[in-house]
Amino acid sequence: MQILMIALLIVIGILLFGFVIFFHELGHFLLAKAAKIRVNEFSIGMGPKLWAFQKGETLYSLRLLPIGGFCAMEGEDEDSDDPAAFGSKPVWRRILVVIAGGVFNVVLGFVLMGLTLIPQEVFATTKISKFAENSALEAAGAQVGDVITAIDGYAVYSDRDMSFGMALANPDAVSITVSREGQRIDLGPFPMAYQTVSGRRVVTPDFYVQPERRSFFGVVKRSFTYTVSMTRMALESLKGIVSGRFGLNEIAGPVGTVQAISVAAEAGLSESFGKAVGNILQMIIMITVNLGVVNLLPLPALDGGRLLFLIWEGVSRRPVPQKYEGYVHAAGFILLLGLMAVITFHDIVRIFTG
């Protein structure tokens, strides 16, 4: 029975993952329509077409694989004389259309975050309420009532920032900044206790924070700060990958993501079905925010790459020829596929080797 429940939860996770991609494309679609750009086809799903109907200039289709969708705009990847083509519109309109997908992903993360927070009675803050016995932080000079504002230079605005900062910190030399009666006080560096997680040493907090009771405005504010926190985490993680701080073992592709969803579902199922769904939602929030951030990076084949060309056109008043831009995006797409192949292979190896 539990195997069937886990299988059901994995299917739910995959459908939610597909919805994240679909919502991304919906952002492009709605802004394209608002900008009076011709959308030739808007599809829910990928692969073979199951059902379709034409309404106005757009073909709306439902496809077999529930893994997202696409928004095919006239003149997006080729020259077109159509006055409603993507390339015929002012640069500022095209910029809004291009960034809409990533923005929609972040907005979706905000909404889902709110849904996961509503059932909670209390929330954690960054204000120290008491210390554990033999606390290294207390020995370094922290006091009850201090508000943690930074860990090793990483700004802390929420308890999630605090947890992420602790995860990145070097246990041998942790530097923590607190706010006390309006004054900034730097503590450290000093050593803290740690535990080993997946081969990495992670600081174990030796203090407790003050709780905050749930309120309507508190949920809205926390949904916003948590979404911002996840956006910052995504950027910091990318910096870690580029700098070599994080290895291939800490990167997951589609296969690794499905595995992570199954692990989260199984962990939650030990408590209740609702907890399992909540865990999956947390994974989906992380995925949608990361997708929104990564997609806006100035890299070929991504929306951020297109944005870079549009900014160049806006500044120089001269568009890059479509064929040359196409070459750049095609090369980027090939490199992206290669990277995904490597990550997917590593995901599979990791599953079989544990």
For 80-115, b where at least 16 C-beta lie within 10 A, e where not — what string?
A: beeebbbbbbebebbbbbbbbbbebbbbbbbebbbe
> Contact 52/121 with Cβ under 8 angstroms?
no
Residue 248, number of CB atoms within 10 A of its CB: 12
Given this model, what pLDDT does residue 9 score? 65
How far apart (Å, rounded) are the C-alpha atoms in residues 120 and 141?
Answer: 33
How many domains in the chain?
2
Residue 198 shares a structural domain with residue 270: no
Q: Which residue has the tokens 């309404």?
A: 55
Which of 25, 74, 138, 325 is catalytic? The answer is: 25
Q: Is residue 324 part of a domain?
A: yes
- Evaluated on CA atoms 203, 270, 256, 299, the torsion sign reads negative
Instruction: Compute CA distances 6 → 31, 226, 256, whole Å.
Output: 38, 28, 16
Q: Is the pLDDT of residue 283 over 90?
A: no
Q: Is the pLDDT of residue 28 over 80?
A: yes
Residue 206 shares a structural domain with residue 299: no
Domain span at 324: 2-118+256-353
- Lowest-pLDDT range of 7-21, 154-168, 169-183, 243-257: 243-257
Banded model confidence at residue 179, pLDDT cuts 50, 70, 90? very high
Banded model confidence at residue 354, pLDDT cuts 50, 70, 90? low
> Contact 202/195 with Cβ under 8 angstroms?
yes
Given this model, what pLDDT does residue 191 score? 93
Residue 267 shares a structural domain with residue 345: yes
Q: Is residue 270 part of a domain?
A: yes
Residue 267 shares a structural domain with residue 319: yes
% of the chain beyond a pLDDT of 90:
47
Residue 58 shares a structural domain with residue 146: no
Indicate which CATH number applies to the domain containing 136. Answer: 2.30.42.10
Question: What are residue 35's phi and psi, to 5 degrees?
Answer: -85, 5
Residue 27 shares a structural domain with residue 85: yes
Query: What is the mean predicted confidence (pLDDT) over 234-261?
Result: 74
**SS3 of 220, please?**
helix
Identify whether 138 is a catalytic site residue.
no
